[in-house]
Structure 1
Amino acid sequence: MPSSSVVRLVEHYVSAIEQGDLSPGALLPTHRALAARHRVAVATASKVYARLKSLGFVIGETGRGTFVRDRPRLGEWDRHDEARASHHSIDLSFTHPPVPQQAALLRKMLCELASSGDLAALMHQQPTGGRTHERQIVADFLARARRIQTDAEHILLTSGTQAGLDAVARALRDSRRAVAVDALTYPGFKMVAESYGLALSPVPVRQGGTDLAALDAICRRNRIAAIYTMPTVHNPLGWVLDTAHREGLVSIARRYDCLLIEDAAHAYLAGVGKRVPPPLVALAPERTVYLSSLSKSLASGLRFGYLIAPSAWRRALKSALRASHWSLSSVVSAMATRWLDHGTVERIEASIRRDAARRQSLAREILAGMDVVAHRNSLFLWLALPEGVRMDRAAAALGERGIAVSKGEAYATTRHAPHALRLSIGSPTLAQLDTALRRVRDTIEGLPI
């Protein structure tokens, strides 16, 4: 049990941070200075900082001190979410990559950039789609780490996968044709489709992938411009389509002259090498737009992504990028491509896969017997609720217990959404995740049916 002095001081600093008296990034007193200021022992001051760190309010950096963390209230992301009202919630609704020592990684890169030859060039606007040498670095990375052979000419750099999807939707909007999507799909694509007036045609899903017979029927009966798909670690269902399934998708796209939109944001989690089936862009490069980023593998705030544009679509996609945001930050692309070139991204991805496997193992143990669907290395899982339990009721109950989750309706493209929750398991510490998942189980099992 913490002493009354520790509790009092923790509450004092939490209040100061939440009310804005201590701004994000503010340097806090040393342990000795805090002890002297509040007339407590140095050991007490150390316990105060340890508690503030465990709550996520401060971060300590060796040799530099203790700083207020720059963490916006969860409510600033979505004020309608039941659990996003305070710093104390455990967020299972959004995944920040579990990359240790991000600060050290960034500090080292900033020093590297500061000592580079033409630093002023990073203050200049770059061409839409990126500089040639940086696009070549991405092409080399894709050949080495993703088994994708392409050239720099077909690569366009973007401010993340979402910016790439925005460009694709913008390029499709004049087609006056629909886009086929899985009945459960990534909410970000739903948003960009809606913003450009693109109709979505839901395709039923079955265990392990898209229902190809249903997709064929939809393409035959409707005017379908494109098929949006996540063949490798689907979000939210986690599937990895086998080679035969991928070839079936390609065959349908060719039969009905559809563009394939391959979202590979989470694909790295499936692993590397011949164990993973080839991406669609390798099977049908003439009609596949392949998109990915570093937001899910390195840092959610980096906002660096890329797409591979088929020859017939390159001009339209480049024009769409220019119209939406012209080009991405030169500083961001310089950092990201250096991390790609150095092999840093591949090392971090391998580390995240190992960490994700541990998290999924923990989830399987705690949620045993519940209806869970997930890839063994993914940073999220799909939890179907028991018969009679509504997702809004479950989310509200979890919110009251300090757990933020995503409801199944956000992922549904059909009129009636399945009563399910999508849990992101990558952001909390393992100890927090253990607590959160046990709370999830207890809450759902305690709800009246």
Structure 2
Amino acid sequence: MHIEIQRKSETSLSKQIFQSIVDHIRSGLLPQGSQLPSVRELSKELEVSFVTVVKAYKELEKENLVTSIQGKGTFVNIEESDIRKTEKDEPAFDWQLSLQDYVPRAQFSRFHHVPGEIQLSSSMIDPGLLPNRYLEQEIHKMLSENPRILSQYSEIQGDYKLRVAMSQYLKQFEVSTTPDNLLITNGSQQGLDLVARTFIGPGDVVVMESPTYPGAIDIFRGRGATILTVPIDKEGMKVDILQNLCDKYKPKIIYTIPTFHNPTGTVMSHKRRRQLLEIAKSIQCIIVEDDPWCEIYFDKKPPTPIKSMDYYGHVIYLKGLSKTLAPSCRIGILSASGSIFNRLLAAKSNADLGSPLLTQKSLLPFVTSKKMIEHMKKLRTALKVRRDLVLDLLSHYAPEGISWILPIGGLNIWLSLPTWVDTNQLLIEAKKNNITFLPGSACYPVVQENHHMRLSFSYMNEQQLQQGIRTLCNILNSEIPSKKNNNNTPYF
């Protein structure tokens, strides 16, 4: 178990140790029933006081995550539903826990695609809303006309024709780029990974919104970054707090999801986008702008990306196509310029020598046709219906004390419960009813808040949403004494 200690952090050492172990447990990296190092061993390994580790372990016990047994040690708690029967022939893998690793957390993977009759946990789109039949026909046509595609590698930077098409596609968002400044990635997640492995090392400062996308937290934490957080309000990241942090710590990267923020759904105002860019220019740092679904708006179009205002190469723009077109193709676009782009291209080369050519060629006919525009219009209409359905159900059946943000785009609704409610515990109850959601704790890089949850309304059909939200509200009503809800105040 690797625990990264940042001695210059304003977070106490005991809190850092506590949080790191929590991340390991919730990521599944510390299996239930596994033994933690002794207090003496861990204090020696981390070069901290005995009392510091004791304080962290006591906090873990208080949160019911571990149990200390006199004379035996401290063990990760086993939930009754997860106790496994020991088989005589079952191989023993306990020895593997002695191998040191450098993975601090991997919470996102646990909620990305999980078993469950009603999945409200993952921001995916119902396959029935995607252009499967058209893509199938295009793939058959492409392979019949040019079967040698199966025996060819792609350019490391990506198929040139697809890069031309994507440079044209990005112009509708006022992002001016050229095919030479675009990199095709295996989804935007790989784009994030390339940025982190290229520019972030142990101790480098990364600023993130709080809460934020769990997959980004996992990646930057994996590089040993010192993560600082900025709260958000209805206009996005609070730039006054950001300015103070930047003056003091000079971050290398500012990571943001300004459009239909994940998980809260908020939209950063145009004014703040410009202010954020000015801050980055003043301290010579990089903005990583993650834009997974700006096309999915339910009212008016959102402000143009920060990248549209970037004339000096401060913004690395990540655009995903997987969710809205074809998840199995795993296509993402990275736009950058100057030596930053050249170094990211080198990192892509080291990672995989280029994304699969077949998947790139598969999407090309769709991206360059009018069907792309028609598909996005239909998708917005269908998802708005599902969003409205979930909001209506919550208004009727959720107990008092629960509030949510009205999302005007994207795929998620962010709920806030009374502060004493732990959504990680609620998830256990929900799973018993074959329902999943994303507990808010996974979305906080530093100090966790456990009383939020993210519900994704995009993957389940309307009948499943009806069943899932009603059942979830029944669970909430049983856990929160005050019932009946007609007065939901907004989150902000």
Query: TM-score band (shorter)?
Result: 0.7 to 0.9
Deviations 1:287-320 (A, max 9, x none): 1111012122112222011110122311110011
SS in 1 for 2:444: coil
Cα deviation, residue 348, structure 1:
1.8
Runs of 4+ in structure 1 deviating by more than 6 angstroms, as ranges, are 77-81
Give the partner amino acid of 1:134. Answer: L
TM-score by length of 2: 0.70
Other-structure match for 2:225: 198
Paired with 2:266 and 2:109, the residues of 1 have a C-alpha distance of: 31
Deviations 1:393-417 (A, max 9, x none): 2111111111111111111112232
Select the residue among 294, 307, 316 that pairs with 1:281: 307
Cα deviation, residue 110, structure 1:
1.6
Are residues 1:345 and 2:377 paired? no
Cα deviation, residue 240, structure 1:
1.3
Alignment of 1:58-137 (within 5 A): 84=114, 89-98=117-126, 99-100=128-129, 102-116=131-145, 118-137=146-165
Cα deviation, residue 111, structure 1:
2.0
Question: Residues 100, 148 of structure 1: CA spacing in aligned structure 2 closer, same or farther, 3 A cutoff?
Answer: same
On the 8 A contact 2:254/2:285 being kept in 1, the answer is: yes
Give the partner amino acid of 1:219. Answer: C
Cα deviation, residue 234, structure 1:
0.4
On the 8 A contact 2:181/2:337 being kept in 1, the answer is: yes
Are residues 1:438 and 2:470 paired? yes
Alignment of 1:356-371 (within 5 A): 356-368=383-395, 370-371=402-403
SS in 1 for 2:219: helix
Other-structure match for 2:244: 217
TM-score by length of 1: 0.77
SS in 1 for 2:129: coil
Paired with 1:96 and 1:186, the residues of 2 have a C-alpha distance of: 14
Select the residue among 381, 389, 406 that pairs with 2:413: 381
Give the partner amino acid of 1:131. Answer: D
Deviations 1:38-89 (A, max 9, x none): xxxxxxxxxxxxxxxxxxxxxxxxxxxxxxxxxxxxxxx99977x955x5x2
Question: Residues 272, 416 of structure 1: CA spacing in aligned structure 2 closer, same or farther, 3 A cutoff?
Answer: closer
Cα deviation, residue 168, structure 1:
0.6
Are residues 1:292 and 2:319 paired? yes
Paired with 1:101 and 1:422, the residues of 2 have a C-alpha distance of: 23
Contiguous gaps of at least 5 residues in structure 1: 1-76
SS in 1 for 2:287: strand
Paired with 2:149 and 2:137, the residues of 1 have a C-alpha distance of: 20
Residues 306-315 or 339-348, more deviating: 339-348
Question: Residues 78, 179 of structure 1: CA spacing in aligned structure 2 closer, same or farther, 3 A cutoff?
Answer: closer
Other-structure match for 1:31: none
Cα deviation, residue 326, structure 1:
1.6
Question: Residues 432, 336 of structure 1: CA spacing in aligned structure 2 closer, same or farther, 3 A cutoff?
Answer: same
Other-structure match for 1:155: 182
Residues 107-116 or 152-161, more deviating: 107-116
Give the partner amino acid of 1:342. Answer: S
Cα deviation, residue 448, structure 1:
4.7
Select the residue among 235, 248, 266 that pairs with 1:208: 235
Give the partner amino acid of 1:234. Answer: H
Paired with 1:115 and 1:230, the residues of 2 have a C-alpha distance of: 41
Paired with 2:432 and 2:119, the residues of 1 have a C-alpha distance of: 13
Give the partner amino acid of 1:119. Answer: P
Paired with 2:326 and 2:450, the residues of 1 have a C-alpha distance of: 31
Cα deviation, residue 135, structure 1:
0.9
Cα deviation, residue 357, structure 1:
1.1
Deviations 1:420-441 (A, max 9, x none): 1111111111111111111111
Give the partner amino acid of 2:428. Answer: A
Question: Residues 272, 163 of structure 1: CA spacing in aligned structure 2 closer, same or farther, 3 A cutoff?
Answer: farther
Are residues 1:414 and 2:433 paired? no
Cα deviation, residue 181, structure 1:
0.3
Cα deviation, residue 119, structure 1:
3.2
On the 8 A contact 2:424/2:450 being kept in 1, the answer is: no
Residues 258-267 or 173-182, more deviating: 173-182
Are residues 1:429 and 2:461 paired? yes
Other-structure match for 1:261: 288
Paired with 1:140 and 1:211, the residues of 2 have a C-alpha distance of: 32
On the 8 A contact 2:294/2:409 being kept in 1, the answer is: no
Cα deviation, residue 229, structure 1:
0.5
Cα deviation, residue 374, structure 1:
3.9
On the 8 A contact 1:130/1:157 being kept in 2, the answer is: yes
Question: Residues 325, 441 of structure 1: CA spacing in aligned structure 2 closer, same or farther, 3 A cutoff?
Answer: same
Question: Residues 180, 387 of structure 1: CA spacing in aligned structure 2 closer, same or farther, 3 A cutoff?
Answer: closer
On the 8 A contact 2:159/2:357 being kept in 1, the answer is: no
Question: Residues 80, 308 of structure 1: CA spacing in aligned structure 2 closer, same or farther, 3 A cutoff?
Answer: closer
Give the partner amino acid of 1:298. Answer: L
Q: Percent identity at matched positions?
A: 23
Give the partner amino acid of 2:420. Answer: G
Residues 323-332 or 262-271, more deviating: 262-271
Other-structure match for 2:77: none
Cα deviation, residue 201, structure 1:
1.1
On the 8 A contact 1:397/1:443 being kept in 2, the answer is: yes
Give the partner amino acid of 1:107. Answer: E
Cα deviation, residue 252, structure 1:
0.9
Q: What is the number of equivalent residue pairs in this alignment?
A: 367
Give the partner amino acid of 2:425. Answer: R
On the 8 A contact 1:173/1:196 being kept in 2, the answer is: yes
Residues 405-414 or 386-395, more deviating: 386-395
